[in-house]
Amino acid sequence: MSTAALTLMSGAEPALMSLALWALLRSKERRRFPALFSYFSLRLVSWVVLYALLHLTLVFSISKPKEYAFYFYAYWVVYLATAIAIFFVIQEMFKFSLDPLPGLRWLGGIAFRWVAGISFVGAISGVLAPGGKGYHFLLAIVVQIMRCESVFILCLLLFLVLAAGKLGLSYRSRVFGVSFGFGVMAANDLVVSASFLHFSRNMMASTASAITSGASLLTLAIWCVYFIQKEPARMPASLPARSPLLRWNEIAIELGGGSLRSAEPSPAGDFFLNDVEKVVDRILSKNALKAAS
């Protein structure tokens, strides 16, 4: 792709980001999606900072190599900060999708953070090799983290596609729209990172830049549409009475996910699985009594 086209796409990104931020504020959803608002603000501010760093020589008398070094490290630090912000947005979307099931939302939030932590440690340990230093080391860490996060996002999108109707969510809901936009970005990151393993880096540089810019513009356009249009009201969750999700939701509530109860000390020989077993027995007994009556 020509340099002029890439420049045009690069200039269109902050314009669309500003429009998406305006649409979010106009829809009065800032309090509902605080992590998403922070992500939009971070991307917009970081674009201004990176653009300024890319033109330092116009203001300060520094060499081009130093200018590029400043820009390079700032770019990947911003990339890492954006990855962290995306993690909180994913968690936000996950919690909103499970609003009808408060027990599972609490239990799923704990599992979500544990899996994210383990994935982060695995991503870091995968690049801790002897001799790793400088910008190659920073680049390897950030790329590994983004790969793990991309898998997270695609799993969330798959969950919403399969369970949206049962959880009362429409495909026109903003939770689904935000997740779908991040799904486009995640799929792009995985495809581009995989392509670098099979093709020359120099040959792929311009193509990867064009694909990434196109995916980013498509994502921003999706978010603009979802926040500009009116969101349909959320329907009640349509889960059958014997649904395993309802059963696990009751178990999670009994374990403390749905109420503000103080933690009571448990005997030394009392294990978590025993507690779960007792809760399941109580729920089964309760259901049996209801069926008998």
pLDDT in tens, 170-222: 888 898 899 899 888 888 888 777 666 565 555 455 676 778 888 889 999 99
Does residue 275 have a pLDDT over 70? no
pTM greater than the 0.75 cutoff = no
Q: pLDDT tier at 274 (50, 70, 90 boundaries)?
A: low
Q: Which pLDDT value is given to residue 223?
A: 93
Could you tell me which residues come within 8 angstroms of residue 89 by beta carbon, excluding any fewer than 6 positions away? 33, 35, 36, 39, 178, 182
In a domain, 237, yes or no: no
In a domain, 177, yes or no: yes
State the CATH number of the domain containing residue 11: 1.20.1070
Alpha helices in 55-173 (DSSP H): 64-97, 102-125, 134-163
Looking at per-residue pLDDT, the higher value among 246 and 292 belongs to 246
- Residues 42 and 173 placed together within one structural domain of the fold: yes
- Residues 118 and 257 placed together within one structural domain of the fold: no
- Residues 224 and 249 placed together within one structural domain of the fold: no
In a domain, 235, yes or no: no
The number of domains in the chain is 2
Pair of tokens at residue 185: 């970005």
Taking a C-beta distance cutoff of 8 angstroms, is the pair 105, 98 a contact?
A: yes
Whole-angstrom Cα distance, residue 29 to residue 231? 11
- Residues 24 and 144 placed together within one structural domain of the fold: yes
Give the domain extent around 209.
3-228
- Residues 51 and 148 placed together within one structural domain of the fold: yes
DSSP-derived letter for residue 167 is T
Q: Which pLDDT value is given to residue 114?
A: 76
- Residues 267 and 190 placed together within one structural domain of the fold: no
Whole-angstrom Cα distance, residue 96 to residue 179? 11
In a domain, 238, yes or no: no
Which is nearest to 166 in space by CA: 102, 112, 249, 101? Answer: 101
In a domain, 49, yes or no: yes
Q: pLDDT tier at 22 (50, 70, 90 boundaries)?
A: very high
In a domain, 128, yes or no: yes
Pair of tokens at residue 255: 């374990």
% of the chain surpassing 90 pLDDT: 12
Q: Which pLDDT value is given to residue 222?
A: 93
% of the chain surpassing 70 pLDDT: 68
Whole-angstrom Cα distance, residue 128 to residue 207? 30
Burial of 135 (0-12, 13-18, 19+ CB in 10 A): exposed
Q: Could you read off the pLDDT of 89-123 as tens digits, one per residue?
A: 888 888 888 887 777 777 777 777 777 777 667 66
Could you tell me which residues come within 8 angstroms of residue 209 by beta carbon, excluding any fewer than 6 positions away? 6
- Residues 83 and 207 placed together within one structural domain of the fold: yes
- Residues 15 and 61 placed together within one structural domain of the fold: yes
In a domain, 236, yes or no: no
Max mean pLDDT range (7-21, 53-67, 203-217): 7-21
Where among 204, 228, 252 does a domain terminate?
228
Compute how many other C-beta atoms are within 10 angstroms of the C-beta atom of residue 194: 11
- Residues 74 and 190 placed together within one structural domain of the fold: yes
Would you call 7 helix, strand, or coil by DSSP? helix
For residues 200-224, b (16+ Cβ closer than 10 Å) or e, as one string?
Answer: eeeeeeeebeebbbebbbebbbbbb
Q: pLDDT tier at 227 (50, 70, 90 boundaries)?
A: very high
- Residues 219 and 249 placed together within one structural domain of the fold: no
- Residues 183 and 260 placed together within one structural domain of the fold: no
Pair of tokens at residue 132: 């790793």
- Residues 262 and 204 placed together within one structural domain of the fold: no
**118 φ, ψ (degrees, to nearest 5):** -65, -40
Q: Could you read off the pLDDT of 115-167 as tens digits, one per residue?
A: 777 766 766 665 555 555 555 666 666 667 677 777 778 887 887 877 777 78
Q: Which pLDDT value is given to residue 265?
A: 39
Per-chain mean pLDDT for the chain = 75
Looking at per-residue pLDDT, the higher value among 262 and 64 belongs to 64
In a domain, 161, yes or no: yes
